[in-house]
């Protein structure tokens, strides 16, 4: 796998797009909810579902764990796969009822990641999103946008290879990891999604 200066790419994206200050959430558990709901759907759908859950008092682990499954399905239907997502939401809510969030999030990084991955429906991207955005721990999130961007600039690899590359080249800075991931998402929407390769600030070359 080729090596490129990922710090330079970050600087280019920040200059081009400006600070994103993302992920939007009022509590760490809202981040957890969003990480489950955002699988295979648009963020606008996730925002609607979270707003509806909050409106019914279900953005709290205890309330969500005890909620009627059909009610949860109704509230998250806009996110697609709502039977599956409602089930996963109740499961992860019950997990955090049984295992206080502050204790879980204070675990050593490796142990925390393995624990998140052991939960049903939680894969690498979801686990790392929870770790970075809810637990405020430095774990770089690799999503489809990241993979696509990296391929365009000549870097290919699987999830773990790309993550290792980012984490080796960048300081273990939570704020930077959050901002970088958000910038990649915005970049992909602005350029990749609209096939604006000729205007792409990265295609022009990175030292």
Percent of the chain predicted with pLDDT > 70: 96
- At residue 61 the predicted structure's pLDDT band, cuts being 50, 70 and 90, is very high
The enclosing domain of 94 has a CATH number of 1.10.340.30
Where is average pLDDT lowest: 34-38, 145-149, 165-169, 190-194?
190-194
Residue 156 falls within a domain, yes or no? Answer: yes
Ramachandran category for residue 57: left, alpha or beta (phi over 0 → left; psi -120 to 50 → alpha): left
Structural domain of residue 119, as residue ranges? 28-134
Are residues 116 and 163 located together in one domain of the fold?
no
Both 33 and 130 in a single domain? Answer: yes
- The predicted model scores a pTM of 0.92
Please compute the mean of the pLDDT values over residues 121-147 and round it to a whole number.
96
pLDDT-based confidence at residue 1 (cuts at 50, 70, 90)? very low
Could you give the CA distance from residue 101 to residue 45 in angstroms, rounded to a whole number? Answer: 26
Cα separation, 35 vs 70, whole angstroms:
20
What does the pLDDT average to over 58-72? 97
Closest listed residue to residue 10, CA positions, set 146, 136, 131, 143: 146
Q: What is the CA radius of gyration of the chain?
A: 18
Q: How far apart are the first and last CA of the chain?
A: 16
Distance of CA 116 to the CA centre of its chain: 13
**C-alpha–C-alpha distance, residues 156 and 165, integer Å:** 11
The predicted structure's pLDDT at residue 182: 95
Residue 117's Cα: distance from chain center in Å?
14
Six-digit token pair at 62?
Answer: 């205890």
Of 134, 158, 187, which residue is a domain's last? 134
Give me the number of domains the chain comprises.
2
Judge whether residue 195 has pLDDT over 90: no
Residues 67 and 93 in one domain: yes
Check whether 104 has a pLDDT greater than 80: yes
Q: What is the distance between the alpha carbons of residues 193 and 145, in angstroms, rounded to a whole number?
A: 9
Token code pair at residue 78: 């806009």
Last residue of a domain, one of 111, 134, 157: 134
Domain check: are 113 and 192 in the same one? no
Q: pLDDT digit string (tens) for 149-178?
A: 898 888 999 999 999 999 999 999 999 999
Share of the chain above pLDDT 90, in %: 80
CB neighbour burial string for 22-35, b if at least 16 within 10 angstroms, e if fewer? ebebeebbbbbbbb
* Residue 196 tokens, joined: 């604006």
* Average pLDDT of every residue of the chain: 92
Same domain, 85 and 48: yes
Number of other residues whose CB lies within 10 A of the CB of residue 36: 26
The whole-number pLDDT of residue 204 equals: 63
| Of the residues 134, 150, 180, the one at which a domain ends | 134
Residues 69, 164 within the same domain: no
């Amino acid at each position: 796998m080729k090596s490129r200066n990922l710090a330079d790419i970050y600087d280019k994206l920040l200059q081009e797009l400006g600070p994103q200050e993302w992920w939007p959430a009022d509590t760490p558990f809202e981040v957890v909810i969003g990480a489950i709901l955002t699988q295979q759907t648009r963020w606008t759908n996730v925002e609607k579902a979270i707003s509806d859950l909050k409106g019914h008092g279900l953005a709290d682990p205890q309330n969500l764990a005890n909620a009627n499954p059909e009610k949860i399905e109704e509230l998250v239907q806009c996110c697609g796969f709502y039977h599956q997502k409602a089930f996963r939401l109740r499961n992860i809510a019950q997990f955090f009822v049984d295992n206080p969030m502050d204790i879980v999030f204070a675990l050593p990084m490796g142990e925390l990641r393995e624990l998140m991955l052991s939960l049903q429906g939680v894969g690498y991207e979801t686990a790392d999103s929870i770790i970075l955005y809810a637990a405020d721990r430095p774990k770089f999130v690799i999503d489809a946008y990241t993979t696509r961007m990296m391929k365009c600039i000549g870097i290919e690899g699987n999830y773990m290879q790309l993550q290792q590359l980012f984490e080796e080249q960048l300081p273990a800075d939570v704020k930077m990891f959050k901002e970088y991931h958000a910038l990649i998402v915005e970049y992909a929407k602005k350029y990749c999604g609209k096939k604006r390769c000729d205007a792409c600030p990265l295609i022009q070359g990175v030292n």
